[in-house]
Chain A
Amino acid sequence: MKIRKDKLYTLSFFLSPMLIIVVLFYLIPLVLTVYISFTGMKNWNIERYMHDFVGFYNYQRLFHMFKYDPTFKAVVLTTIVFVGITLIINVFGGLGLALATFFMSERPGNIYRLLWLLPRMSPIAVYSLVWYYFFHGSEIGTLNSILLKLGLISEPIPFGQIIPWGAWSIIIFVNGLVGVSFGMIVFTSALNQIPKEIVIAARVDGASGWQISKRILFPMMKWHFLYVLTWQFLSLLTTYPHLFLLVEWDLVNRDYGTTLALYVFNTAFGRGEQEQGLAAAAAVILSILGIIGGVITLKVLEFEKMIKKPRGEIE
């Protein structure tokens, strides 16, 4: 399809701010990351290692570590379980919350939404510290102390050290509580776009809340669902700050509290010698996994079908 010159100018004008942002904040860092992954960069010494080309050494080293590390199996399993279950919680939890608050009157609905946003608004360290003391595996842990006082247990339970599900439950719970608000916001905004008249008309016809959701609301929110699913998948695949603290503070078992993203972070940045070259190689691999996962999600949910050409004249 040929685009007329003046049309091209108009398009460039409107697209340029976004293109500049993409180039500045995505493309350049991506190119830099790929470049650094082929250097022996360490200890942030850019001046010294920027031109120290090592070829595929960092990739080879990573694969060797993945292949022979006795705890790597736990890391892979943790990544699959963590991303899978947290994704379900984040997407369906967000959807559930948005629907629940949609059917509420406006004031209590807003209050509930605000409450669910609190974990996202709290500083990560403070938020993690709360759950550190809540789930601590001794009598100083809030949960253990409550259970002990109620006489339900006689010995404190080391929740985060029960492998694998104890550790997994905590990391999924803590991250799910933060992530669920993202879906809630997007779905709430989607619901607010749906004309109220349709819902009122269905109500008048005697449709239940579930029927309204299933027949009217869900089909109209498919686009948002896809967006939240893909976004949260990519985000969970690379997330590590909460996990880092919970593992660092020994609340959860190190092997079953570590996802691939955290494994990469700890391997590259968490030791006395910080290796940016290795980190970059790992980041490139994670990006590739993310892209593959993202494309699969879009295919499964038939993204192409949702992008339809307008029925009217384009020109």
Chain B
Amino acid sequence: MAKHYIPNSAHKEEMLKEIGFSSIEELFADVPKGFIKELNLPEGKSEYEVFLEMNEILERNKTVLEMPSFLGAGTYFHYIPAHVKYLIERSEFLTSYTPYQAEISQGMLQALFEYQSLIAELVGLPVVNASMYDWGSAMAEAALMTVRLHRGKRKKFVVPKHTHPERMQVLKTYGKGPGVEIVTVNWNERGQIDLEDLKEKVKDAAGVYIEMPNFFGLLEEEIQAVGEIAHDAGAYFVVGVDPTLLGIVEAPGELGADIVVGEASYFGNPMNFGGPRAGIFAVRNDPKLIRQMPGRLIGMTKDAEGKRAFVMTLQTREQHIRRAKATSNICSNEALVAVAAAIHIATLGPRGIRELGEVILKNTTYLKKRLKEVAELPFDGVNFKDVLVRFEKPYKEIHEHLLSKNIHGGYYVKPHFPELGEAALFAATETTRKEWVDALIEALREVV
């Protein structure tokens, strides 16, 4: 039966005859008997019917446009300028594969080189790969990399206890392969890393990791000291960063990081229920680090006539060449997500990036100020996006009340950190409106 996605359905007989076969079955003659069978699946439908059906399913989602939401905790509602999506939907980008044939893929290669370059400027390290799956996988691979850099003689990776739980879980899974020992450091009374505890635990570490901002939404003020402690112990310093912060906060590369990871999809990509995303992975310009880094690298070179050109480079680290000895198994990455991020960053430019950071910081501060009126703030410091608040009542009751007012409350933290009590993270970004925050506080007053 002819299908509209399969042009040669109409020519099966004729083609078979031309190559000397009598039937399609003959093409499957090498398949052992009994394997081929009819599957218990629905019949195909028309595009229109599926359009209606999918719309009906999607109707059961309630978006943040229909219900003000204060959810953050690693996924944020940012506005994406319309032209970003328009550009990455250009089918030459959208429908291409990994640029193995450089000459006919110069557009994608240059766009990815620009992504690498823009991220390098933000994070302050000169070598950036063409993306990992997400912040979590980038962080986990950074941990494996620090162990490799110590030739497996050091297997300890030190992370704050208040590292994002999703990332921590990915790290744990990835760490099981080479047997990485994950050591956690406590937070202090200000909700930031406890340097004394770190000093005690850093001995023989392969790497030390810290996030900016941390899981509580706070800027870690002693980040440079953390780097020094790591380096003094002979460990690599890995910084995870929300890049929307980097217009107003110093680049981690300038603060001593050897490896920077983070989430690139905060630029240019919608939340999409959590994916696709793209992990940032950047290192110092040190051959030892570059040789050990995971992922694809796009390099600038020239063509046979001396003209500037772009190509995938240093591929001998990668799985398709090095196989079992590769630095990582990553093959498909998140190229299109990275290009969207690049277009968004380029659009913002230095002024836009700074302003974005400032607006988020100010909106977060407003949210925080208002939350203080109705709840306790366990930690005080500079908050960016997320604010940790503690309630006296069970958070579930508060959540139900907010939902009944068509407001989505924050992220319940207790399942991960029971010691914090009935705590939740409430978040703001540049998209947060004053009337949303005011309605939230009013609703909270009714219930707390």
A, B in one complex: no
A interface residue numbers (CB < 8 A to B): none
